A and B are shown apart, each in its own frame.
Chain A
Amino acid sequence: MKLNNIKLVIIAMLVSFTAFNCSNDDDNGSNDPMQQTPPDFSGTFTQEDQMGRPAINTVFVDMADKNIYNVTLPSNQGAAFQTKFQNKLEALNPAHTDPMYTNALGFNAEQFTGALATDVLTVSLVGTTTFFDGTNILTGRALDDDVISTELLLIFGGPAGADNPGLTNDNVSANDKSFSATFPYLASPW
């Protein structure tokens, strides 16, 4: 452990010396001591995770596909995953195997999973922004939106939201801290 710590310190020192040596000379005219070496923003960055709507990967993607889903571009997700999402939805709520059966949005299994498989969050620029507030649906995601109960209702609730009543609400309806009306909106950490 101690040896590793020493190694880390040496590496850190080497890195800082190297960074110092890399300071560019383009601004020779400036003798401002406040002018510091700009951070290094070079290089190629390769995708590891992505997210649009809440809980889509968690609920609809099989364990074997979870990594690949995170590196499938949204514009390619529908073609790659709609059928798998439909199978998952029909397993969760077998009533959805009937193409005449719809959820509260009026979508049958194919239509609903077709909308969900492209995992982007639509955010309104002209009106209320909410996942669901009783009136507006999928116009954004606010901090206090009960997104899970909305998704449960759309998965299990059927056309009137009355099916499978034990599964359409997780009965946790609010966060454990209040949000702020002003930036940065999120609550201070515990």
Chain B
Amino acid sequence: MKKSKILIGTAIIAIAGYFAISADHIDAPAVAGGTSDITDIYGFQGQDTNTIVFVANVQGLISPANTSSAAFDENVLFEFNIDNNGDAVADLVIQATARDGKMYFFGPTAPSQTGLNSSIVTTATTNAVAITNYGDDAIIESNNDMRFFAGPRDDPFFMDFVRYTQIVTPGDDDNDGMEEGAFLPEGTGDGFASDTFAGTNVLSIVVELPKAMVGSGDSVNLWVESKRKQ
């Protein structure tokens, strides 16, 4: 038991040390490799031009072999924060948290408080979608003019992060006799650029909703927070 714990700990430290990773994958020691670790967020116009899509991906670098056992942590709350007047303070929040195989969504609604602590606004519009199991077709819930998805997806992020790390780390990291000073050329195989995130999965939370629900101006500011139950 102890030995396996030590091995796991060593592996996590090794991964964190090696990657310390992008875009926000295991970005900081306190969340690296944990269930609250946000890997990436996205915001883009949906398939209907009057809708906007928000994506939060968590728990990066999940191998295919480990994907069926990857699960959302029921003690973690994810919040899509929406600032619609330009002051970087949340005016609206969409909260998402998993319970018993479903992802529950609250909002968009004014947060009960802004800042580092939250409570779930259970009086807000509430929706739920069954979390899609690995290997199954995506389960989509359409309700209250919104669409919802939660479950494993291919990590949409792409980057030669290994080469980036070698470039910003002083010294010869790949033992070819010289310090790395440039990215590798596009191509396949040794000596060419490669996507460090190829073949890995994440757990995704996707919400699509009418633009009118998030703001009436030309744009909003979006950021995602993960918060753990105390």
Contact = CB atoms under 8 A, between A and B. Distances in A.
Contact of B44 (A45, A48, A141, A184): A141
Contact of B193 (A67, A124, A170): A170
Nearest to B77: A45
A142 B42 contact: yes
Question: In which size bucket is the chain B interface?
Answer: 35 or more
Interface string A139-162: 111111011100000000000000
Nearest to A179: B156
Nearest to A190: B64
Interface stretch (A27-35, A55-63, A94-102, A106-114): A55-63
B211 A125 contact: yes
B143 interface: no
B71 interface: no
A46 B230 contact: yes
A185 B44 CA distance: 11
A48 B89 contact: no
A176 B154 contact: yes
B13 interface: no
A125 B215 contact: yes
Given A67-B28, A184-B149, A171 B193 contact: yes
Interface residues of A, number: 76
A6 interface: no
B33 to A, nearest CB: 12
B18 interface: no
B193 A140 contact: no
Contacts of A185: 53, 55, 206
B27 A124 contact: no
- Chain A contact residues, majority secondary structure: loop
B130 interface: no
A172 B194 contact: yes
A125 B52 CA distance: 8
A179 B1 CA distance: 42
A48 B219 contact: no
A31 to B, nearest CB: 22
A23 B84 CA distance: 39
A33 B31 CA distance: 41
A66 B167 CA distance: 20
A176 B198 contact: yes
Contacts of B45: 124, 128-129, 140
A188 to B, nearest CB: 7
A146 B195 CA distance: 12
Contacts of A177: 154, 156
A187 B181 contact: no
A146 B52 CA distance: 20
